[in-house]
Structure 1
């Protein structure tokens, strides 16, 4: 463990993620008292937040006009973009933070706090920083395992502290439905988040400049919900599992899926994106062996029709339903782009997690079809409880060993089950690469407590945040580890909760 008085070597600016550029001017800024000034009304919340955080670190409020000032300001009007998180920090006798958005100002103030936490001072000089990709996400499988509301709130603060700006909340799974439903109370698990608790989680995410993406997987991964509605399941197929799968060949089950979405929508009033799933619907290698799918596909598309066409049509319909409600649709990649009669809606964003099966389409096909992508590389960023299905818990060491960056996707696997082709987008990245995400999957929920999950993900999530922001990293693994230890954990203030 590194002490606050000894920041990492070769990293005079002690932050995660590291800034894009730092021009040191010599010396440090070590105020005993300071005043934070918001140069515009839209930054008052950031000024109030930073004031509270500085007070908690023992830096008193300014006593007179000669005391140092931290000035928060937005770029000139012509250069403002609410989605732009880039910022500059000019540290002299006073500190001036300039950004194109309130989110950018927030990211910059985290950098100041990291230096104070790591070394008790901020190096003088000029920092310029901008993320290589717009999204740096954390996905949480809260369907298989109940994570209490307080745990979710703490993880939002921990994620925001290092520049993570998307939280994908996966609240439904084969093993549970963990969010209170008003229209379908019969499907809700005993351990769940109430609507009142959800409202605080949603408000906290918004306050921390984190976009909350609901994740309600369908037409697969619905065993728990379908246990209360067995008439909506895909009909039996000899030797094949169907109890988790919605019957997409009939209208009533599809309407149930859409009604379930509509029931959940009021929980997420600020969300603009929604992950509808689309993955692991049935055993894709044996999709022709499901009689209901084969019959319906032949009736709808002729002899060449397949279950993949039906799946694609379902995803397109759900995507249209979401679009009508102002939401962008997202879906996992494994079962899509494999249809012949139906073409996947080009506006569906593909959350790309794997190419473990030779039948799964490559990233190049998605780009050629005009899809945007989020890289959720399961080889390095799948934190699977109990290390189920052969996964190993991610570590910063493995992330650095892979020289991972946002354009490095899971490798293509050949017919013999071996990785054969590297899939990599070169820097600077195409606009189609929206970002990346770390993913917690609770396959064996008893394997770790929520506290152990929080401890286990901290290092690799920070490693992803560092390498996602910088399209790789300019620091060595040892320096990253030292920074991680020096910065320590963020402690949400009670004032934060009262504000939300």
Structure 2
């Protein structure tokens, strides 16, 4: 034993895989030093950023370090000590420091070029973080925070190399059918960041409501609860702080029943001249321009973020009346008149989707759609195929192949059509629903599709396992996975019950989307025990604030007030 090493008195008996499993998500690699010494935080530990012009000007890295410092204090790591923060020269760094540096060109690992990759080296000279980005530094510090909680305020000497298997790890929240408070959304932004989920989708327009303030058309906003634009700006600021991308979701041409109650003139016309109460008239230029004005309003509100979900799902049930009897021929006639001979109703809908997609793309956002609105009947020899080519920048959220309708395009169709960005929303694993009917298998009416869904996700799901389709987990087109909260029966439970209901499944998604082989590193029982020890993010309680942090300074130590 090295008696000259202040940390050498404390040894670990845990192997690398056991230590890897103590973080959530489970880290990709923890190679333990053969001596099994442990580095322990004490009153002299500091969070250190190099004292160079480049780092002094990096406001985001400063923000990350201040955030984690405040969380450490809130979590009493270690034992409620105030963690000092300092910009320091190399000669000023001590073995008790945690040093954070960035390497965008990254020598972190040859296994990933992710901007969220990081490396942590723990040894007699202290703790050294090399991160591919500021958000990667946030994740590295979160891993240290979690290991402190689960391993007795100590880090075992060795090297952690970590990166996500999926670029996007998302949660979709239906805030349209059910009013969801600003405080609930901020609470979950913090919680998602704690487990390295990086995207939140806010679905604010639906059949049962429209929940964000509108200046373009105030009449469509639900008066039984909505988010003001000032509240949305607070949410967006918190999201940027915690490294969460926000995707607004305004679904058309289906899921517009609430809008059509205010604007019945925009309902899809049928062969008898009647207007649909549930589907937008994609043949009406006034209706299309109205919808574009709404997208423009919310593009302005969500400026600075990267994606916009435009829906395009469940326009009508294509395999049954009234679509087959009353609407199909109208759309077919419109296709022949406006698009040309040989085009059909499928092309009319595809063309509408392209128009809206181009509108948000030209506004600086990458559009996303659900999978079921395009390529209908592609594999049916008796069906004419869609001729309109979809814009190649449209992302695809593949949620269901709809087993009751074999004409819904399968995943391989989207791959063959060369869609490069496909996201796994497998409804059988990831749809949590406030249901209109009580399940008969022992589940609650507010539930996922199976009992013990957290265990199913952990043990069975991998990124290549889509609904009724399986592909290689590392297929290039798989860009992410998403858990979805759907409030079909909005008054069934409170938002706080939803928080309790999804907590376990969120953690299973977080680890399996970050490290697909999590269930090979540890078993579900051990994983469940560890998630319990880790608990919630610091500042999880709705409306709570973290301890105030004084401004970072390049001169001397700066600590919590």
Flag whether TM exceeds 0.5 (same fold). yes
| Residues 450-481 of structure 1, C-alpha deviations (whole Å, 9 max, x = no match) | 11111111110110110111123222111211
Gaps of 5+ in 1: 1-5, 412-422
- Pick the aligned partner of 1:409 from 466, 469, 480: 466
SS of the residue 1:398 aligns to: helix
CA shift in 2, pair 1:88/1:65, >3 Å: closer
Residue correspondence of structure 1 range 56-455 to structure 2 within 5 A: 56=74, 57=76, 58-61=80-83, 68-75=96-103, 77=105, 84-93=115-124, 94-124=126-156, 125-190=158-223, 191-236=225-270, 242-286=276-320, 287-289=323-325, 290=327, 291-301=329-339, 304-338=342-376, 339-356=385-402, 357-371=405-419, 372-386=421-435, 392=449, 395-401=453-459, 403-411=460-468, 423-427=469-473, 429-455=474-500
CA shift in 2, pair 1:382/1:496, >3 Å: farther
- Mean CA deviation greater in 472-481 or 299-308: 299-308
CA distance in 1 between partners of 2:506 and 2:14 (Å) = 21
Q: May I ask how many residue pairs the two structures share in their alignment?
A: 480
- Mean CA deviation greater in 41-50 or 261-270: 41-50
CA distance in 2 between partners of 1:385 and 1:61 (Å) = 43
**Does residue 18 of the first structure (1) align with residue 53 of the second (2)?**
no
Contact 1:9 1:479 in 2 (8 A): no
| Residues 421-440 of structure 1, C-alpha deviations (whole Å, 9 max, x = no match) | xx22214x232111111111
Q: CA deviation at 1:51?
A: 1.8
Contact 1:242 1:282 in 2 (8 A): no
CA distance in 2 between partners of 1:119 and 1:318 (Å) = 51
Q: What is the RMSD computed on CA atoms of the aligned residues?
A: 2.7
CA distance in 1 between partners of 2:430 and 2:216 (Å) = 35
CA shift in 2, pair 1:292/1:471, >3 Å: same
- The alignment's TM-score, normalised by the length of structure 1, stands at 0.90
| Residues 347-375 of structure 1, C-alpha deviations (whole Å, 9 max, x = no match) | 21110000123111111111111112011
Q: CA deviation at 1:70?
A: 0.9
Contact 2:106 2:132 in 1 (8 A): no
Name 1:53's counterpart in structure 2: 71
- Pick the aligned partner of 1:32 from 37, 42, 48: 42
CA shift in 2, pair 1:77/1:343, >3 Å: closer
SS of the residue 1:150 aligns to: helix
Gaps of 5+ in 2: 1-12, 86-91, 377-384, 440-447, 551-561
CA distance in 1 between partners of 2:271 and 2:181 (Å) = 38
CA distance in 1 between partners of 2:303 and 2:114 (Å) = 18
